Amino acid sequence: MTAPAPTALPAVPTTPDGQWVPACPAERLLPERGVAVLLPCGGQAALFRTHDGTLYALDNIDPFSGAAVMSRGIVGDRAGEPTVASPMLKQVFSLRTGVCLDDPQVRLATHRVREHDGAVQVSARPAGESR
């Protein structure tokens, strides 16, 4: 028995070329604390700024639980590799490559990120996907 499908998603603003989704003003993104970004296709990205100021974005859905929670994970490093740990069952993923360091078979899609006009923007589609 299932409840009705979720209500219609709000239209997600993108850049005029449709390539980039403005996530938030740059100063709103705190170091080592992620935020989730809704993408036009209905997907979600988890956006992070590490302590040294570098921006990263990964798919927001934790592949182990299926819940959209990666943005709520703890950011840190493992042997120097910047990481985020899933808040659900604590598997650790590389922020650079999206590879799960505890189970290298599993990988999260990554998104390109940039700062533009004082806003952080996330690519509308995962890196490597060309459409």
Q: Of 18, 19, 65, 104, which one interacts with another protein (CB under 8 A)?
A: 65
Minimum Å gap between C-beta 91 and another protein is: 10
d(CA 10, CA 97): 30
Q: Of 15, 18, 19, 33, which one interacts with another protein (CB under 8 A)?
A: 33
Q: Which of 96, 52, 44, 97 is nearest to 71 (CA)?
A: 44
Tell me whether residue 51 is exposed, middle or buried, using C-beta atoms within 10 angstroms of its C-beta: 0 to 12, 13 to 18, 19 or more: exposed
Report the interface residues with another protein, using CB under 8 A.
Answer: 1-7, 9-10, 12-13, 21-24, 28-33, 35-38, 41-44, 47, 50-51, 61, 65-69, 72-80, 82-83, 85, 87-88, 90, 92
